[in-house]
Chains A and B, each alone.
Chain A
């Protein structure tokens, strides 16, 4: 069953539409990657799903229920978390405080969730009292992931989790994403590093010019030579 279903989505800024009819879906406990050349509308798709850009046309359903027009603080209550591409931690707050902010809508005890996050990311557990602005890029990305997990979501939207990271750190992040999925969270991920993303995904979509061009299993897309050409305009 699909936890997220996007049909014929059209959205963009004022008069310019970036997405011109995107249809994707993400099953329970699937990792789905969205790749494509720059300017294809990948980030816009994420923001449109998460209610940060108003949708002009089409439908977005979470768990069979339309979520169009909902604001982010309503969506997180439903069990959807979003990790933006950059500026995704509060730099003046400590690691622990960042995690608490992730669970802002929760009123119960957070220690259990926080322990789980620290278990997943021992690196930030050591720095729980440090101000997050002093963390490295990788540390910040881990913190952002951890913060999104504080709500124990059922679907995680990741916008380029590997952007700006050194190869070793990046691989570590991807491993963590796999672990998160194995713990029972569905993941929809936009990634620039197509090889890595498709390599770990159940399925993938290739977005070109605001439309999904290819849809297949991760392996099949990786093997498809057309996909590589798309990036250099050979379509």
Chain B
């Protein structure tokens, strides 16, 4: 059981990173971005690409993030921008198209087979009695914790971070007080995408890479975002961990294949009982 919870924290960290970006885009751009999972895959594969060019791992991560952000901003500029006035559903449909586009571009270049960043085998060892992990997994938890602290500092301490929270509260007022909302939108894509790429790379480290890896994560991502109250990054962090732990713990009782269904059922329960999410109720970011 302890081990399952530990696994849940690992998986939950990855979900949390994805869900934060998803919920930020929802809060500021007001649409459910179905391409977010595939952005995670794109980042993971780009890191693979740079690694294959003999770039050291940390630099490969940075490059993957940079390229993914550029892609996200370009897509916003040439596609989503035109639908901002036509309402959230057209944006949603467009994002489904983008999701397929990204996934199949990955398929086109890297093929459908499972690949790994490295062939090296990392042995599990007992971290504390009853819980064993390998060094990657410890790294995932540490990096996620660090990123969450960074996101927190970014939103709380930086000018643009505060402007993002302000824009999520009230876009019109943000314009009135002189906030450059175009810059806010660019930053939203940047932060959301960067976190997604981290999540994608971690998923690749943990489970290897396959083109549909991000798409298959979409349901848990939405479940986490809804659980945390959509539009609220802190909610998404907690929601991600809850979903991750629930999915892993469920494997103690039912087939592992049903992990995504567990997320789905939690999501439906939340929608039935408390549609505004556990931290919802008001529009506050806690």
Touch between chains A and B, by CB atoms below 8 Å: yes
A interface residues with partner B (beta carbon < 8 Å): 50, 52, 71-73, 76-77, 82, 84, 87-93, 97-98, 100-102, 104-105, 131, 133, 147-148, 151
Residues of B within 8 A of A89 (CB): 173
Name the one of B163, B165, B174, B180 contacting A92, with C-beta atoms under 8 angstroms: B165
Specify which chain A residues have a CB less than 8 angstroms from the CB of B175 in the assembled complex: 71-73
Q: Given the known A-B contacts A100-B159, A133-B282, A133-B284, are A90 and B178 also in contact in the complex, defined by CB atoms under 8 Å?
A: no
Interface residues on B, range: 20 to 34
- The answer to whether A73 touches B179, judged by C-beta atoms less than 8 angstroms apart, is yes
List of 7 A-B pairs having minimum Cβ-Cβ separation, nearest first = A76-B178, A92-B284, A90-B169, A90-B166, A73-B178, A104-B179, A105-B178
With an 8 A cutoff between CB atoms, is B256 at the interface?
no
- Whole-angstrom distance between the Cβ of B230 and the nearest chain A Cβ: 14
Q: A73-B180, A90-B166, A133-B284 are in contact. List 20 more A-B contacts (CB 8 A).
A: A50-B176, A52-B176, A73-B179, A77-B178, A84-B173, A87-B172, A89-B173, A91-B284, A92-B165, A92-B168, A93-B169, A100-B159, A101-B166, A101-B174, A101-B179, A102-B177, A104-B163, A104-B180, A131-B284, A151-B178
B169 touches A91 (CB 8 A): yes
The CA of A98 and the CA of B179, in the complex, are separated in Å by 12
Asked if B162 is an interface residue, CB under 8 A from chain A, the answer is yes
CA distance A101 to B166 in the complex (A): 8
For A131, list chain B residues within 8 Å (CB): 284
* Residues of chain A with a CB closer than 8 A to B166's CB: 90, 93, 97-98, 101
Are A93 and B162 in contact (CB-based, < 8 A)? yes
> Can you report 16 A-B residue pairs in the complex whose CB atoms are below 8 A from each other?
A73-B175, A73-B178, A89-B173, A90-B166, A90-B173, A91-B169, A91-B284, A92-B283, A93-B162, A97-B165, A98-B166, A100-B162, A101-B166, A131-B284, A133-B282, A148-B177
CA distance A102 to B169 in the complex (A): 14
Is residue B264 within 8 Å, beta carbon to beta carbon, of the partner chain?
A: no
Nearest-neighbour CB distance to chain A for B174, whole angstroms, equals 8
Q: Report A-chain residues with C-beta under 8 Å of the C-beta of B168.
A: 92
Shortest Cβ distance from B161 into A: residue: A97
Query: Is B207 engaged at the interface, CB distance under 8 Å to the other chain?
Result: no
Q: Which residues of B contact A72 (CB under 8 A)?
A: 175-178
Interface pair A91/B176, CB less than 8 Å apart? no
Q: How far is the CA of A71 from the CA of B176 in the complex (A)?
A: 9
A92 touches B285 (CB 8 A): yes
Enumerate chain A residues within 8 angstroms of B284, measured Cβ to Cβ. 91-92, 131, 133
Q: Which residues of A contact B163 (CB under 8 A)?
A: 101, 104
Task: Report the minimal beta-carbon distance from B56 to chain A, rounded to whole angstroms.
Answer: 36
Residue B251 is within 8 A (CB to CB) of chain A in the complex = no
CB distance from A78 to the nearest CB of B (A): 11
C-alpha spacing A92/B176, complex, angstroms = 17
**Complex Cα gap A82–B177 (Å):** 8
Contacts of A104 in B (CB 8 A): 159, 163, 177-180
Task: Pick the most buried of A84, A90, A147: most chain B CB atoms within 10 A of its CB.
Answer: A90
Does B176 contact A82, Cβ atoms closer than 8 Å? yes
In the assembled complex, the Cα of A104 lies from the Cα of B285 at a distance in Å of 20
A contact residues around B172 at 8 Å (CB): 87
Q: Whole-angstrom distance between the alpha carbons of A100 and B177 in the complex?
A: 10
Provide the residues of chain B in CB contact with A148, threshold 8 Å.
Answer: 177
Chain A residue at smallest Cβ distance from B179? A104
Instruction: Give chain B interface residues in 148-167, CB to chain A under 8 Å.
Output: 159, 162-163, 165-166
Is B159 a contact partner of A91 (Cβ separation < 8 A)? no
CA distance A50 to B168 in the complex (A): 22
Q: Which A residues lie within 8 Å of B135 (CB)?
A: none
A-chain residues with CB within 8 Å of residue B173 when the two chains form the complex: 84, 87-90
Nearest chain A CB to B196 CB, angstrom units: 23
